[in-house]
Structure 1
């Protein structure tokens, strides 16, 4: 299955506000988890239906509703109606192959971004769509499947870290985006270690497996770039966003996000360039090896051309060859052959042709 474009024919012509799941089912069930907190207390629990979460829309505390699994269109419609979301938001959530972006609505901000996971066994990157909806004192996050990538944020909330416990939903959204972008940098560094290890192999003994590895990592870097480039644009738009849902003091944190995504982008460009150089080095080494083989074969052929000429003359079937009946003709012929061969070898060595 294609990793870059996964469009379905059935989705062609569907209304933009149609609540239709357009991704791949990655979870067997939908899980609804709530974290409700302020400086004094924190409540963490799992709910069975959307109705139990609607009360957090107008809460004086800060609430985080996390939804794992997106395939149940009925639940998604309940979320859209219960939280009074714009009719275009939930269809965007259900289109998991959509490009990362940010969109401001009347009562919320919707952020779409790609989360990356790294499989160290086969060195392959997989992507998951993450959507954050920032409302006043409420953050709703949509994930395609259950995972532990945001567990560090939950631990910070449980340990009563004052900054995050005293902040609103905008800071919580920043914290989640920060985890996503830090994970970009981590994954790029892991792939980068593998890429840099190819240098020694290229110098010592390049092989077909080396070429396969270079091409494989090029594909993974391109796949990462598919997530990072739109995220870079989204973060820049978020920094410039002027919304009542974003506190004034969040600006410095958004600048930190911008710095981190720029770092990830710079690392990505660096490794793309390293892979291009490695590919050029591989082809250069292969060409040098081929040239060395051709040089050897050419010299070998040149040495034997005069020897073949001599053997050809004395192999002709004529009676009147002056040296034919001479007692030492055979040994003289071999002497001439050896003198010519040794002289040519010495000449080639002096010229440093081999």
Structure 2
């Protein structure tokens, strides 16, 4: 499956507000969880249908509605009806291949971003689409599958951390996006440690052939991360500059923190890509240098034996008249001359620092 962009043939020409799931189905059943809280009270429930959310809308509390699974178009229609959302908003939620974006609508802000996960066994990075719909009292989060990536946020709510319990949906949205971006930095850091270990291995006189495979793997993963981080950076920048009634003035400072963090992640990917390029060049330089040394040795070896072969060729001919052949010590003289010639050439090459 394509990791960067994918579009099915039957999707071509469809209306933008068509409630059609676009992506890979990762769960069989859609689960709905709700956390409703204010500074003093907390309520957590698993819902069977969206209609149950209406009782929370009547309260002056913050309601976090989390949907795991995006393939149920009937459920999406129900969400649109209950929260009076435009179909275009939910259509974007169901498109998991869409680029990270942020839009302000009449009654909400819609946000989409890519969540990255690192498989510790294979070292490969996978992507999951996260969509947020931000209203004044309700934050709806949509995930492709159930996971515990946001469990630290739930724990902060349960432990009555003042900032999140006293905040509104705009601060809760910041907390979720902060988790996503922190995960970017974590994954880049893990890959960075592996890349730095490669530098130590490249310092050996004979680097392993497996190094070139690792370099190409890390470059591919960093390119994949970078392709997801760069549009997310644009989205965070737009969000930090957005003047919206759904975001309190005091929360903008936190969105600017997000921008700083994602800039750090983006800069780190660029730095590690440059390091990998340098490592690749160093590997090829080391191999070329080693090959040059081998060729130099073989050349010197051949040059020494050329005159020896010449001498052996002369006295190995079948002519009858070769005066030296009649002399008693000719063979030993020839061997001595060949030996002196070989040693003399070695001394000459050594003085010229050819080896």
TM-score of the two chains, using structure 2 as the length reference: 0.98
Counterparts in 2 of 1:172-211, with a 5 A limit?
172-204=172-204, 205-211=206-212
Matched, 1:5 2:9: no
Q: Which secondary structure state, in structure 1, belongs to the residue aligned with residue 203 of structure 2?
A: helix
**Given that residues 67 and 142 in structure 1 are in contact (C-alpha distance below 8 angstroms), is that contact kept between their aligned partners in structure 2?**
yes
Matched, 1:314 2:318: no
Q: Which secondary structure state, in structure 2, belongs to the residue aligned with residue 324 of structure 1?
A: helix
**Given that residues 18 and 91 in structure 1 are in contact (C-alpha distance below 8 angstroms), is that contact kept between their aligned partners in structure 2?**
yes
| Cα distance in structure 2, aligned partners of 1:229 and 1:351 | 55
Match of 1:353 in 2: 354
Match of 2:279 in 1: 278
| Cα distance in structure 1, aligned partners of 2:75 and 2:184 | 31
Match of 2:288 in 1: 287
Match of 2:30 in 1: 30
Match of 1:48 in 2: 48
Runs of 4+ in 1 over 6 A off after TM superposition: none
Q: Which secondary structure state, in structure 1, belongs to the residue aligned with residue 35 of structure 2?
A: strand
| Cα distance in structure 1, aligned partners of 2:301 and 2:137 | 83
| Cα distance in structure 1, aligned partners of 2:224 and 2:57 | 37
Structure 1, gaps ≥5 residues long: none
Match of 1:89 in 2: 89
Q: Which secondary structure state, in structure 2, belongs to the residue aligned with residue 112 of structure 1?
A: strand
Instruction: Please list the CA deviations of residues 7-45 of structure 1 after superposition, one character each: whole Å capped at 9, or x if unmatched.
Output: 111110111111000110111211100000001110011
Match of 1:323 in 2: 324
Match of 1:246 in 2: 247
Match of 1:102 in 2: 102
Q: Which secondary structure state, in structure 2, belongs to the residue aligned with residue 44 of structure 1?
A: strand
Structure 2, gaps ≥5 residues long: none
Counterparts in 2 of 1:59-208, with a 5 A limit?
59-204=59-204, 205-208=206-209
| Cα distance in structure 1, aligned partners of 2:31 and 2:351 | 79
Aligned alpha-carbon RMSD (Å): 0.8
What is the number of equivalent residue pairs in this alignment? Answer: 354
Q: Which secondary structure state, in structure 1, belongs to the residue aligned with residue 284 of structure 2?
A: helix
TM-score of the two chains, using structure 1 as the length reference: 0.99
Could you tell me how far 1:59 is from its partner in structure 2? 3.0
Match of 2:270 in 1: 269
| Cα distance in structure 2, aligned partners of 1:58 and 1:257 | 32
Could you tell me how far 1:57 is from its partner in structure 2? 3.5
| Cα distance in structure 2, aligned partners of 1:7 and 1:58 | 41
